[in-house]
Amino acid sequence: MACIDARGLRKTYGTMVALDGIDLKVEEGRILGLIGPNGAGKSSALNAILGLTPFEGELKVLGLDPWTQRDQLMSDVCFIADVAVLPRWMKVSQALDYVAGVHPRFDRAKAERFLARTTIKRTSRVRELSKGMVTQLHLALVMAIDAKLLVLDEPTLGLDLLYRKQFYDTLLNDYFDGSRTIVVTTHQVEEIQHILTDLMFIDRGRIVLETSMEDFEARYLEVMVLPDQLAAARALRPIQEREVFGRSILLFDNVPRGQLAALGEVRTPGIADLFIAVMGARESRAQRGPA
């Protein structure tokens, strides 16, 4: 059974279309990166999945309708938003007490073990913690819940590089076990490339790219082209060309690696570079208008 299964999912706000009839399927035990520019529909999709907003079309999350069966669904779903919303007056120990009291699947001992690896004091109030510490506390509370689906919406926004790396390392080592499912949105896409199993680009309410990371690495290649091979490389119709330190880097879709190897140094592109290429191509088509 798919963890998330949407067909013709549509969400409008007045005359604005946030989700334009998308189909979305996420199998259990996968880590999906949902990537898109601001206003693309990411938050609307997550809100529908979490049962926070009504929608048109069909949507099942863990076999349930998130809008009409949200109470039942929330026993198996955890969510970390882009802004941690823990009450600022609350002590760390009180946060542990509260979650232990309201969630039947919360393992307090597991949360305590995670916090023991940090500098967070149980007597500290949330308002006394740095943004990174609040995120660590939030993660400790969420990771200690035996949930089947974890939704992360810009979870490391505003954190420095060290905290961001610790966050994703902890997520992989202490939470993800191959059976749980994670959906993450972020603008810091290069930092999650190594943890994803699946990738999806969304733009203007539509899915514009959907691939597993295995297919991503097999399908897309970029080449730092030798100067005397530039014309030959361009003849293979790259989907993007850019210059870095005076060298041309071309991005290709479904061109054999062996054919590209004669042109220069071949490597797997970053998600950000592919995203820019796909979005740039869409913008170019939009400006040209219908043929």
User: What pLDDT, on the 0 to 100 scale, is given for residue 173?
Assistant: 81
Q: What is the dihedral of CA 47, 53, 57, 58, to 10 degrees?
A: 60
Paired residues of 207 in beta bridges: 202
Sequence-ordered alpha helix ranges (H) in 103-242: 108-115, 131-143, 161-170, 213-219, 230-234
Condensed to tens digits (0 to 9), the pLDDT of residues 93-120 reads 999 999 999 888 899 999 999 899 889 9
Token output for 87? 């009450």
Condensed to tens digits (0 to 9), the pLDDT of residues 27-37 reads 999 999 999 99
DSSP state of 191: G
Condensed to tens digits (0 to 9), the pLDDT of residues 9-25 reads 999 999 999 999 999 99
Residues 6+ apart with CB under 8 A from 186: 33, 35, 152, 154, 155, 156, 157, 192
pLDDT-based confidence at residue 289 (cuts at 50, 70, 90): low
> Which domains are present in the chain?
2-204 (3.40.50.300), 215-288 (no CATH)
The pLDDT > 90 percentage for the chain reads 66
